[in-house]
Amino acid sequence: MTKSESQNKKGKGGRKPKFDYTSEEFLSLVESYAKKGFTDGEIAHAIGIEPETFCRKKREFSQLSQTLSRARCAINSLVRAKFLAMALGGIKTKNTTIRKLRDRDGNLTGEEEVQTVEGELAPNLSAQMTWLYHYDEDWRRIERKQDEDADIPTDINHGISIDSWIKDKLK
């Protein structure tokens, strides 16, 4: 048998891959790391492969890329919801106490009383501005206009100082 015939009988050749990149077990593992906020490089190191290999496998296996995308969409929506809640403020439960009830003789009745302590959170103006900048086109336009106006030096008594404006622009 010639060398080329023996190679054809063996198949593709090379090593067996370390992972089945389309298996539910592998994709579930990758998804769990992505939902924890890991970057692609961190995921690769966590599962024991080189980041370059992981990047190549993402291009090769669409299921892997889709799993990462789905996991990151889920975490992004959770973060967005928390950010909006922080921007709006509201009521926060500080602690919850469960107390076992006793009868007149001091014996436990099996019933419980739940007591919660709540506090009010003030709205976060910085978070509100950030949210509006990213999600409201009118707000973004107003903010950009204010930034442009801040670049123009003014003299309180005479309006714009042309000399200082020209010097600032030539720097």
Write out pLDDT tens, residues 131-165.
998 889 998 888 787 766 666 555 556 667 777 77
Residue in the block written with tokens 């790391």: 33
Rounded mean pLDDT, 112-116: 88
Cα separation, 102 vs 114, whole angstroms: 14
Residue-wise pLDDT tens digits, 70-86: 999 999 999 999 999 99
Q: Where are the domains of the chain?
A: 19-88, 89-122, 136-171
Q: Find out whether 160 and 154 touch, Cβ atoms under 8 Å.
A: yes
**pLDDT, tens digit, 9 for 90 and up, residues 59-72:** 999 999 999 999 99
Of 1-10, 57-66, 104-113, 115-124, the poorest mean pLDDT is in: 1-10
**What is the pTM for the complete model shown?**
0.54
